[in-house]
Amino acid sequence: MEVVKTGDKTWENRHETFVEDISDLYELGNQASLDALTGYNDTTKGLQGLIADAIATQTPLRALGSGWSWTKIATVNSGVMLDTKPLNAVFDITATSVSPAYPGDPKYLLFAQSGNGIWELGAHLKQRNLSLKTSGASNGQTIAGAIGTGAHGSAFDFGAVQDFVVGIHLIVGANRHLWLERASAPVVSAAFIQNLQTELVQDDDLFNAALVSFGSFGIIHGVMIETEDLFLLDATMQRLPYDDSLKAIMQTLDFTNANLPGGSERPFHFSVLLNPYDMEKGAYVTTMYKRPYQPGYQPPVDNTAGIGPGDDAACFMGTLTEALPALIPTLVNTVLGASLTLFNNQFGTLGEMFDNTTLRGKLLSAAVGMPIAYAARVADLMLSINKTIGPFTGVFSFRFVKQTKATLGFTHYEHTCVMELDAPYSNTTYNFYTQVWQKLEDEQIPFTFHWGKVNEVTPQRITNMYGAAADAWIAARNKLLDADSIKIFTNPILQQWGLDTVLP
């Protein structure tokens, strides 16, 4: 494995919302002179060597993806950060690598090294007439970063990004690395385990805990993902009255006789955006319907502001700046008027619809998940409190995602409504967030925080949100890591959240 020690003493996240002091940033790479499998195994040994060095010097260690999070998940104060983005090998899977007990077709499996970007995987799969099953709106994350923070997807009948992962190659210490998969859903063969020179661990509880683990379970070196046949999405964004009919869909996901392009057809993706300063014209409603892939379609086209049909509010809200309260409605309306263009029947693959990796301006983004039964109530509440604790320099967005199997996945409910609050970087925005979380608690509305976005997670809130699941996650971490590894893979935010417990 190639290791370049940059000597950097500070690190800043991609959204430029914080700078952290570190002891060094290492840029990692596979040995170009080696074949793919030999190079992958060489990198495994190299990562174990870095863990050994960290243990010997008692230096905190953290793998870094794209630095896409607003929270300090990837940082280690006065520790070493490992830039894994160049670790982007991919391996097609043949039948000899698959367990006889695996019920699926091996052609839909792909083994990807942790540094692969979501956008890279989408492009690679398209060449094979395959597709990821879901993705976020912004796909600047690496695959390990996206699953490690529980990034929510776009398909409310599938789940979040981590839910297409069926195997994890996890380096848990200087002398141990393992292949982790569910006992209830075996995937790989003995030959695959031998090729990776690793140890097979089949355990549902350990696997589900490791899926969303913030880099605190060790270093994820590679993941096995399940894909599907390449498909098209037929996308439309329209403005519809924010009335009882739309609210009923938001809180039930029942599309019977819906006033949508597909009528009663169940969409692949459904989202609602509310501009509190222009409600007379209704909500912005985006629907995407899944269609068989066929060549000859016109790929989606960005509008004049460079905003595509799958882009979320974070793509343009960063262009806003903090303003005097009286000016905020005009400012928000101006930005939305320039950024959002209604469209009908735009076709594209998943990777073409959700392809944004561009940041525009300095912004904050927060998101909470809640049971869909509360979606309309919370939307009404946000419009109401915006008049009392606002005005908020942004919009209220609602997306819908199926429950994840990840133990601490924030898409925690049977169907989760994700409310996103994107706004300019400012203390005013932070203060608004704080008051919103308190209001939700006062109203006894159950919710979870997106781990990678601005949040105010506390040990008490984790207990309220996850209950025994948090204890199970801590138990899994203690089972997988020895005392030395637990110490180096613990960072300040894990301690702040109260998830750093060492069990006797």
**Is 466 a member of any domain?**
no
Q: Looking at the structure, do residues 194 and 291 belong to the same domain, yes or no?
A: no
Question: How high is the pLDDT of residue 306?
Answer: 64
Q: Looking at the structure, do residues 253 and 301 belong to the same domain, yes or no?
A: yes
**Is 464 a member of any domain?**
no
Whether the pLDDT of residue 360 is over 60: the answer is: no
Q: Looking at the structure, do residues 165 and 291 belong to the same domain, yes or no?
A: no
List the beta bridge partners of residue 138: 356
Whether the pLDDT of residue 12 is over 80: the answer is: yes
Q: Looking at the structure, do residues 148 and 286 belong to the same domain, yes or no?
A: no
Question: How high is the pLDDT of residue 318?
Answer: 56
d(CA 237, CA 217): 41
Question: How high is the pLDDT of residue 339?
Answer: 79
Q: Which residues are within 8 A (CB) of 447 and not within 5 positions of it... i.e. 6 or more apart?
A: 368, 369, 370, 437, 440, 465
Q: Looking at the structure, do residues 266 and 372 belong to the same domain, yes or no?
A: yes
Question: How high is the pLDDT of residue 313?
Answer: 62
User: Where in the sequence is the domain holding 22, given as residue range(s)?
Assistant: 2-229+476-495
Q: Could you read off the pLDDT of 294-305 as tens digits, one per residue?
A: 999 999 887 776
Q: Looking at the structure, do residues 414 and 443 belong to the same domain, yes or no?
A: yes
Q: Looking at the structure, do residues 245 and 197 belong to the same domain, yes or no?
A: no
Q: Looking at the structure, do residues 399 and 288 belong to the same domain, yes or no?
A: yes
Q: Looking at the structure, do residues 216 and 335 belong to the same domain, yes or no?
A: no
Whichever domain contains 268, its CATH number is: 3.40.462.10
How much of the chain exceeds pLDDT 90, in percent? Answer: 80
Whether the pLDDT of residue 178 is over 90: the answer is: yes
**Is 469 a member of any domain?**
no
Tell me if 17 sits within 8 A of 72, measured CB to CB.
no
Total of domains in the chain: 2
Chain centroid offset of residue 269 CA: 16
Q: Looking at the structure, do residues 126 and 240 belong to the same domain, yes or no?
A: no
C-alpha pair distances (Å), 358 with each of 26, 121, 139, 338: 24, 17, 9, 17
**Is 463 a member of any domain?**
no
Q: pLDDT-based confidence at 359, cuts 50/70/90?
A: low
Q: Looking at the structure, do residues 137 and 166 belong to the same domain, yes or no?
A: yes
Mean pLDDT calculated for residue range 363-389? 96
* R_g over Cα of the chain: 22
Question: How high is the pLDDT of residue 54?
Answer: 97
Whether the pLDDT of residue 177 is over 60: the answer is: yes
This prediction has a pTM of 0.95
Average confidence score pLDDT of the chain: 93
Q: Could you read off the pLDDT of 346-357 as tens digits, one per residue?
A: 999 999 998 765
Q: Could you read off the pLDDT of 264-273 as tens digits, one per residue?
A: 999 999 999 9
